[in-house]
């Protein structure tokens, strides 16, 4: 998805070198629709330049700093020398992330909608989280809650979250659920203890997963799972809760798994 507007002075932009002249370099801006900029020869590199082609080539992807924008004359002045290695690397990664997010948008919402509706959905993600990529990333981490402030429909949110969780890689994710355990049988507290040990996996949790069970308030216990991805985390959470329920039922007690914490009034 490309921006239809103009960059602002001071922005870093990604471009592809289109033409090289003795006086400078013309650059097609990759993030903007039908926008082109000029790097004057004095902004290509520091010091005296004998031949511009010693520093750049046609088709090269570059990161430039926007020096000035004249919308009336459709002119954008750029600098290549004012961008350091860290800025260049960070901007290129950001641009690649947005390209990934464009593909995720195609997977999530393009079926049966026109360009205007597509743009509206993308703008909701950008408005909520600053970029398309961050919108999908937050949806992968926090689910529907990450998009609750948008005007997206429930169906659109569900599709975006599903696509995000199938495609976005996050270092580690956390999920939480709750299990109610009651044991009126003679085994009482011992039965509850067995159920909690079962929930914790009795030493059988994968090394890459961190799972802990904490007391919240009778009869409720919190299960927290940290895992490399949502699929693993959700699976481990549900399996933990099921182990606890099965164990307490083995003591003639009752168990129930739920995602949200109970309130005192429930």
Locate the domains of the chain by residue range: 12-81, 86-167, 173-258
CATH of region 173-258: 3.30.70.1130
Give the C-alpha separation, 174 to 64, whole Å: 38
Is it true that domain 86-167 has CATH number 1.10.3720?
no
Q: Which of 11-15, 64-68, 77-81, 129-133 has the lowest mean pLDDT?
A: 129-133
Q: Do domains 12-81 and 86-167 have the same CATH topology?
A: no
Which residue has better confidence, 180 or 260? Answer: 180
* Contact status, residue 220 vs residue 178, Cβ threshold 8 Å: yes
* Contact status, residue 41 vs residue 78, Cβ threshold 8 Å: no
Which residue has better confidence, 115 or 251? Answer: 251
Residues in contact with 182: Cβ distance below 8 Å, sequence separation at least 6, in sequence order: 219, 248, 253, 254, 255
pLDDT value of residue 204: 79
Q: Which CATH superfamily is domain 12-81 in?
A: Nucleic acid-binding proteins (2.40.50.140)
For residue 29, what are the CA distances in angstroms to 57, 82, 176, 261? 16, 17, 44, 49
Mean pLDDT value across residues 216-230: 90
Q: Does the pLDDT at position 266 exceed 70?
A: no
* Contact status, residue 28 vs residue 42, Cβ threshold 8 Å: no
- Average model confidence (pLDDT) for the chain? 91
pLDDT value of residue 264: 52
Mean pLDDT value across residues 6-19: 96
Q: Structure pTM? A: 0.64
pLDDT value of residue 91: 96
Tokens of 48: 């005296």
Confidence of residue 171 (pLDDT cuts 50, 70, 90): confident
pLDDT in tens, 43-84: 999 999 989 999 999 999 999 999 999 999 999 999 999 999
Confidence of residue 263 (pLDDT cuts 50, 70, 90): low
């Amino acid at each position: 998805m490309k921006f239809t507007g103009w960059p602002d002075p001071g922005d870093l932009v990604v471009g592809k070198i289109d033409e090289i002249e003795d006086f400078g370099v013309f650059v097609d801006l990759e993030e903007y629709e039908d926008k082109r900029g000029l790097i004057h020869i004095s902004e290509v590199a520091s010091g005296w330049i004998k031949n511009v082609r010693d520093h750049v080539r046609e088709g090269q992807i570059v990161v430039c700093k926007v020096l000035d924008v004249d919308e009336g004359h459709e002119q954008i002045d750029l600098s290549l020398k004012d961008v350091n290695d860290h800025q260049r690397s960070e901007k290129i990664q950001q641009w690649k992330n947005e390209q990934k997010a464009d593909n995720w948008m195609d997977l999530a919402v393009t079926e049966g909608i026109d360009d205007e509706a597509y743009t509206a959905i993308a703008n909701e993600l950008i408005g909520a989280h600053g970029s398309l990529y961050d919108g999908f990333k937050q949806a992968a981490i926090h689910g529907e809650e990450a998009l609750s402030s948008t005007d997206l429909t429930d169906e659109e949110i569900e599709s975006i979250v599903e696509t995000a969780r199938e495609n976005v890689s996050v270092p580690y994710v956390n999920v939480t659920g709750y299990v109610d355990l009651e044991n009126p049988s003679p085994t009482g507290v011992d039965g509850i203890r067995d159920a909690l040990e079962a929930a914790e996996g009795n030493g059988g949790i994968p090394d890459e997963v961190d799972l802990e069970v904490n007391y919240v308030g009778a009869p409720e216990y919190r299960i927290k799972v940290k895992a490399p991805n949502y699929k693993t985390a959700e699976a481990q959470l549900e399996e933990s809760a099921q182990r606890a329920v099965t164990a307490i039922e083995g003591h003639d007690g009752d168990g129930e798994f739920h995602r949200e914490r109970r309130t005192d009034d429930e």
